[in-house]
């Protein structure tokens, strides 16, 4: 059995997806963009290295989408996802996904982005499973906090180890693009760094990780 694990942002999609998901929703009522001012303390904390990516992500959720009904966010996801796939993905990434699907490989989307929309992207692209950052709900309204650890860096490696336990003996292939992906790229059987910036490519070479470019 082979498992093909794909990162999302920068690997399948050309850019980050979470910030556009939030900003485009807020822009429907432009005055709501003022809510972004609440992010300033968290961003300062990140710059001072006293807050991590997960804290900033939770702050963005809390200050912009907290209290939104599940039905509203599901409707927005249903509009957002087809547009991302149609206009924001690398054709080569879609070709590689199709190749693995045709070979009968299990497809796993592994992303630090939230489960507000990552599972919907996975379904639209024919993935078997989505592993991502969970968000918390209070009844049918978004709580604004994370329900799981931020699925980034070492957390992605932990999720890969869990996949190995679930599928003993499977060969795991992984595609990713950033320095935060090295922890899991180093523990799979067939890693490939795609579209990495020069510094990331140099580090990949030192680690013996093959490099590719998707357009």
Residues 56-75 pLDDT 10s? 898 899 989 999 999 999 99
**Cα–Cα distance between 67 and 57 in angstroms, integer?**
16
Domain 2-212, CATH number (from 3.40.50.1000, 3.30.1050.10, 3.40.50.300, 3.40.50.2000)? 3.40.50.1000
Percent of the chain with pLDDT over 90: 84
- Domain positions in the chain are 2-212
pTM here is: 0.94
Residues 115-145 pLDDT 10s? 999 999 999 999 999 999 999 999 999 998 9
């Amino acid at each position: 059995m082979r498992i093909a694990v794909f990162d999302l942002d920068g690997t399948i999609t050309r850019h980050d997806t979470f910030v556009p998901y939030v900003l485009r929703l807020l822009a429907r009522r432009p005055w709501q963009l003022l809510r972004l001012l609440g992010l300033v303390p968290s961003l300062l904390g990140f710059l001072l290295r006293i807050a991590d990516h997960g804290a900033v992500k939770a702050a963005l959720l809390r200050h912009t989408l907290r209290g939104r009904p599940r039905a509203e966010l599901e409707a927005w996801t249903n509009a957002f996802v087809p547009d991302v796939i149609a206009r924001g993905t690398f054709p080569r990434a879609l070709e590689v996904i199709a190749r693995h699907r045709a070979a009968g490989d299990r497809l796993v989307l592994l992303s630090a982005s939230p489960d507000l929309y990552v599972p919907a992207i996975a379904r639209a692209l024919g993935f078997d499973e989505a592993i991502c950052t969970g968000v918390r709900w209070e009844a049918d309204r978004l709580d604004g906090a994370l329900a799981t650890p931020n699925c980034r860096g070492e957390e992605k490696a932990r999720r890969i180890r869990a996949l190995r336990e679930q599928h003993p003996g499977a060969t795991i292939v992984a595609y990713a693009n950033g320095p935060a992906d090295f922890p899991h790229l180093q523990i799979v059987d067939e890693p490939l760094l795609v579209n990495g910036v020069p510094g990331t490519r140099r580090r990949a070479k030192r680690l013996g990780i093959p490099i590719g470019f998707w357009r």
